[in-house]
Structure formats: C-alpha cells, structure tokens
Amino acid sequence: MKATLAIIAALLITAPILANNSQEDQIKKMAEAAALKAAEGQKKADKKQTRAELENRPAVLKKTGGFLDVAAVGVSVVVVDTREKPGIAADRFAEVFGDLSKTNVKIDKSKLNANEKPYAKALAALKANNAAYVILIAESSDCPGLCVMPEERIAVINAKRYLGGNDPVAPETRLIKEVWRALGFVGGIGYAPYKNDVLQPVYNLKELDALVYQVMQPMNFQKMYAQMAKFGVKRARHIPYKLAVMEGWAPQPTNEYQKAIWDEVRAAPKNPMKIEFDPKKGR
C-alpha cells in the first residue's frame, strides 16, 4: 500500500513541474520526482524480499504450506488514446490502477480511421480485448467533454474540452482525472461520499482543477470488482497453499509442509455427522 501511495504522490509532484518559469527549477523538480520514484521502487523491492523471508520461516510454512502467486485473468480496462500526440494520461492511469486493482490494464494508442467515430472504436476495442471497460480519449469538435455509456461499458473523453489556461501541464492533468472519473461512472461507482476522491461533482475546468486527488480511493474498488467479475476479470492473488487446497485447485504438494496440509485438508472428518432416519418425517 505504501508503494501505491508513493506512486500517487509522484503524480501530484510531477503535475506542476512545467508550470515554473525557471528552467533550472523545472530540471531540479524533475530530478527530485525521479529520485522519489526510484527510492520508492527500491523500498518496494526491499519489502518484497522481507515478505519472502517471513513467508519461508518454518513456523509459517507449517501453517500455510508457502504461498502461491495466481496471475490476473482477463482485461479490466483498455485506455485508447487516439490523439495525434498522445500524452501521459493513459500510461499514468494504467500504472496506478493496475497496481491498486491487481488486474490487467491495456493501453492502445492507435488513431481513428477515416470517418471512424470514437464510440465505434471504443466498442471495437471492447470486443477485441474482451475487456470489462474501455475509456477512449479523442479530439473532437462536437463531442461533450465526458460521455459515459454504462450499458455499453465504454466512455469517451474529448481532450479538446480540457484545453486552456496558463499552466502547460493542466490539460494532461485534467485528462488523468477524467480517465479515473470515466471509469468510476461507467464501472457503476458514481460520485463518492469522500472528499479525498476524484469522483466529485464538477461543472467546469476550474472545479476540475481544484480536485486535489487525481485518483479514485481504493475503498471504492470493491463494488467495481464485483462488476468486473461478470466479464471474466479476476485479480492477481498471493495466497497460502492451504487456501488453494481448500478451494480445490492447488497443485500437487512438493515438500513436507505442503504434503501435511494436503493430507489434513483432504482427510475425511474424524467425527462425521450422523443423520438417522426418522419415519415420522417421511422419506
């Protein structure tokens, strides 16, 4: 979770970098942001190593049989950026949402074909990737800023509606927020009751810019997971071998710890329930 929060912090740090008029300050801030991200990456690696050491202790192995990594199944979200010059919105969303949700997220930066409508391309991407949802970023002169089609499981964002202002990075920052908002609406979450969430009512660019948080809070994800499961999406899991045996899909045991758990879970009950026939209750 700390690594995830660090990614979110990096988003907030890098957003205003180019707004500073001093090139020297810009370079300094970029270096600081890169250093922060590198440091957090190392912390994440150290944490993973520490977790592995704990999981391989004999006392833990005796209770769990070790841990299994189960890969994510299906595609939760495809972000299609059809702009002539794609920005970082799709990449930032995929990085953070993929880490938070433990699901597969895809990025598509192909352009619209001649006379192809944004919503038609979004539907095609939904079918081609067998995804739960598609968020498409387009450049259109006649589309609204955010068009959500929950029944179709797609949303279209018109990047042209988010241009303007003196901050050169503001348009892309707005799009990052809107990708999250689009997913929240098309995924069935709607407005969040928490102020520290990007899913707040906004009616103009000023209000959108005022949203401090660029992402959806993880506590809102549970509702979305249930919807994604309907479309074959399963999250990656890191679970005890014992749980896998209880669920009925564990591989054959490979060591004494797993063999003991395998035998324990699959053994017949020592005191099975006895149900005697009662003629008064019929057959």
Cα–Cα distance, 254 to 89 (Å, whole number):
45
pLDDT class for 15, splitting at 50, 70, 90? Answer: very low
Angle formed at CA 155 by CA 125 and CA 207, multiple of 5 degrees:
145
| Cβ-contact 98, 71 below 8 angstroms | no
pLDDT class for 49, splitting at 50, 70, 90? Answer: low
User: Would you state the pLDDT for residue 246?
Assistant: 93
Closest to 171 (Cα-Cα) out of 82, 88, 105, 81:
88
Cα–Cα distance, 158 to 170 (Å, whole number):
15
Q: String of b and e for 110-121 (b: at least 16 CB within 10 Å)?
A: eebeeeeebbeb
Task: Tell me if 140 is assigned to some domain.
Answer: yes
More confident residue, 31 or 269: 269
Q: Are residues 92 and 215 in the same domain?
A: yes
Residue ranges making up the domain that contains 23? 1-53
Q: Are residues 86 and 213 in the same domain?
A: yes
The answer on pLDDT for 14 being more than 50 is no
Percentage of the chain surpassing pLDDT 90? 58
Split into its structural domains, the chain has a count of 3
| Cβ-contact 192, 199 below 8 angstroms | yes
Report pLDDT digits (tens) over 90-145.
999 999 999 999 999 999 999 998 889 999 999 999 999 999 999 999 998 778 99
Task: Tell me if 276 is assigned to some domain.
Answer: no
More confident residue, 38 or 235: 235
User: Would you state the pLDDT for residue 126?
Assistant: 97
Q: Are residues 247 and 221 in the same domain?
A: no
Report pLDDT digits (tens) over 159-200.
999 999 889 999 999 999 999 999 999 998 989 887 888 999
Task: Tell me if 271 is assigned to some domain.
Answer: no
Task: Tell me if 182 is assigned to some domain.
Answer: yes
Query: Residue range 52-73: average pLDDT?
Result: 90
Q: Are residues 10 and 89 in the same domain?
A: no
Cα–Cα distance, 67 to 155 (Å, whole number):
38
More confident residue, 142 or 258: 258
Percentage of the chain surpassing pLDDT 70? 82
Cα–Cα distance, 273 to 162 (Å, whole number):
66
Task: Tell me if 272 is assigned to some domain.
Answer: no
How many residues are listed for the chain in this entry?
A: 283
Question: What are the C-alpha distances in Å from 67 to residues 53, 54, 93, 252, 281?
Answer: 12, 11, 29, 14, 48
The answer on pLDDT for 220 being more than 70 is yes
DSSP 24-38: HHHHHHHHHHHHHHH
Cα–Cα distance, 78 to 271 (Å, whole number):
52
Task: Tell me if 197 is assigned to some domain.
Answer: yes
